[in-house]
Amino acid sequence: MDRFDIRGGTRLAGRLTVKGSKNAALPLLAAALLTDGPVVLRDVPDLADIRGMFKLLTELGCKVDYTPAESADAAGGVVRIQVTDPTISHARYEIVRTMRASICTLGPMLAKRGSARISLPGGCAIGERPVDLHLRGLSALGADITLDSGDITARTPKANGKAGRLRGARIFLGGPFGSTVLGTANVMCAAVLAEGTTVIECAACEPEIVDLADMLTKMGANIAGAGSPRVTIQGVARLNGVDHRVIPDRIEAGTYMCAALMTNGDITLDNCPADALMAHIDRLQHAGAKFTVDEQMDPMRTLCRVQGAGTRGIQPIEVTTQPHPGFPTDLQAQLLASLTLADGNSVITERIFTERFLHVAELTRMGASIFRQGPTVIVSGVRRLVGAPVMASDLRASACLVLAGLAAEGTTIVNRVYHLDRGYERMEDRLRSLGAQIERVNDKEEVGVPAAQGVG
Ligand code: EPU
């Protein structure tokens, strides 16, 4: 099991290309099940979760060929997917349990193959993660859904004794915490092949949904309003193959922005989706970071320079996580790490996954002063963090601990970085290229640790 050994205290400086987005790529890969034609995706990052989705698609009758990027600084590799056996429709627990995003195959498989059986994903380190909204949406399209032995089985309505098509409907996808990103992806993928018109109200507005709609439109789907809370879809009988470039990863970019603030560094990000990071950039500016964004470029693929707060130091701020375009939950832990060194008290409220604070106890071990009550934490800035052995518990919490280690005095050991490898490609190499003193160490001593759990 790998760990990172980090000697903190170096100002990070240099240039990085933001990789393709994990959370955009996962539903795009699943959407390949919607067509008999070949699907080519570019800028696909080489990550454990992406490899997990390749494995699942292979089990579901696809031929998957991945060519990793030739240079370490490219945005990602190229994958080509071709369905060869459309008769399989069972995503087994062995795969689903290692990768929660397996649920994104439900909508495409149901719409194209007439039935889908997927193990119900369990809870994970960041909370309960129900899928009731996904199922409500698919039922509204006419799917017959049953739960049996831990599996969800969904079937399209029968027509002349055979599996027929789903039927368009008006669907409300809001839940107690707002909309659902992967639920919107699932319903959208099912509705593109349904008969008639579907209107999704309270659809997720995340950029990953816009990217999915862009790809489906290139495949021949008829979708209006993606990126807004109301998405309208006119169903079509079939979709074609496609060649599509995945959007850059806003969470990876946002994490390196926090690294610049935290180490008082100077990092330039190429292929930076600044347009998708407005809330994060706003909060970091209030905390003292300086941004220079090239306004002439595509706002989703811009050149963005981030500098630390200089002698003024990091300023305390308030932040609440919200659905897009609000501040993303996937950057809460990283921002929290940065605010441990602010000059005063910051307040962070988590409104998407209210239990997503496993990093708090570990940061406290490094000298951070954090008080939590329910979904809110008060972070009282301290003068310094001190390196310590810490345990990563989920993907973004791991990134938060790496950031803390980069700014801490002495050595920080971040254990179990397999969580990090789910969502950050070769993070240690990228940080080293910016001047960080960080090594990946294979810790053979550690035995008897449970298998990785799907979180993203
Ligand atoms: N929710 C329900 N019912 C549902 C679905 C969701 O109540 O049927 C609740 C959730 O419990 C949560 C909220 O709605 O409180 C939002 O969850 P959502 O469904 O949007 O999350 P997701 O689609 O499963 C994706 C990302 C997460 C990211 C969330 C929120 C992927 C693969 N995962 O998950 O990414 O935190 O959206 O933006 O896209 C990560 O990358 O670290 C990660 C966890």
- How far, in Å, CA of 77 to CA of 425, rounded? 12
Tell me, in angstroms, the distance from the centre of ligand 1 to residue 183's CA: 8
- Could you tell which of 132, 277, 352 is best to mutate to test the pocket of ligand 1, judged by most ligand atoms within 8 Å of the CB? 352
Q: What is the pLDDT of residue 162?
A: 86
- Could you tell which of 129, 210, 277, 400 is best to mutate to test the pocket of ligand 1, judged by most ligand atoms within 8 Å of the CB? 129
- How far, in Å, CA of 191 to CA of 165, rounded? 10
- How far, in Å, CA of 101 to CA of 58, rounded? 15
Q: What is the pLDDT of residue 94?
A: 87
For the Cβ of 249 lying below 6 angstroms from any atom of ligand 1, the answer is no
For the Cβ of 396 lying below 6 angstroms from any atom of ligand 1, the answer is yes
Residue 319 · residue 335 · CB < 8 Å: yes
DSSP structural state of residue 434: T
CA atoms within a 13 Å half-sphere pointing along the CA-CB vector of 66: 19
Please identify, by atom number, the ligand 1 atom nearest to the C-alpha of residue 182: 23
Residue tagged active-site, from 62, 104, 124, 400 = 124
DSSP structural state of residue 273: -
Q: What is the pLDDT of residue 446?
A: 52
Dihedral sign of CA atoms 332, 276, 178, 90 in order: negative
Tell me, in angstroms, the distance from the centre of ligand 1 to residue 107's CA: 16
Structure tokens at 127: 């909370």
- How far, in Å, CA of 231 to CA of 261, rounded? 37
Angle between helices 22-31 and 207-218 (to 10 degrees): 30
Q: H or E segment at 365?
A: helix 358-365
- How far, in Å, CA of 16 to CA of 202, rounded? 36
Structure tokens at 328: 């993303």
Active site residue 304: no
Q: What is the pLDDT of residue 445?
A: 54
For the Cβ of 181 lying below 6 angstroms from any atom of ligand 1, the answer is yes
- How far, in Å, CA of 444 to CA of 341, rounded? 34
pLDDT in tens, 38-49: 999 999 999 999
Residues of the chain short of pLDDT 70, as ranges, are 122-124, 126, 445-456
- Per the rule left: phi > 0, alpha: psi between -120 and 50, beta: everything else, 373 is beta
CA distances (Å), origin 127, targets 177, 274, 332: 13, 29, 15
pLDDT in tens, 12-47: 999 999 999 999 999 999 999 999 999 999 999 999
- Per the rule left: phi > 0, alpha: psi between -120 and 50, beta: everything else, 178 is left
Tell me, in angstroms, the distance from the centre of ligand 1 to residue 182's CA: 7
For the Cβ of 130 lying below 6 angstroms from any atom of ligand 1, the answer is yes
- How far, in Å, CA of 235 to CA of 229, rounded? 19
For the Cβ of 101 lying below 6 angstroms from any atom of ligand 1, the answer is yes
Direct distance between the N- and C-terminal alpha carbons of the chain, in angstroms, rounded to an integer: 20
For the Cβ of 164 lying below 6 angstroms from any atom of ligand 1, the answer is no
Please identify, by atom number, the ligand 1 atom nearest to the C-alpha of residue 395: 42
Tell me, in angstroms, the distance from the centre of ligand 1 to residue 130's CA: 9
Among the residues of 141-233, which ranges form H helices?
181-191, 207-218
- How far, in Å, CA of 427 to CA of 231, rounded? 36
Residue with CA closest to ligand 1 atom 35: 456
Among the residues of 60-119, which ranges form H helices?
93-96, 106-113
CA distances (Å), origin 1, targets 184, 388, 419, 448: 35, 18, 11, 11
pTM of the predicted model as reported, rounded to 2 decimal places: 0.96
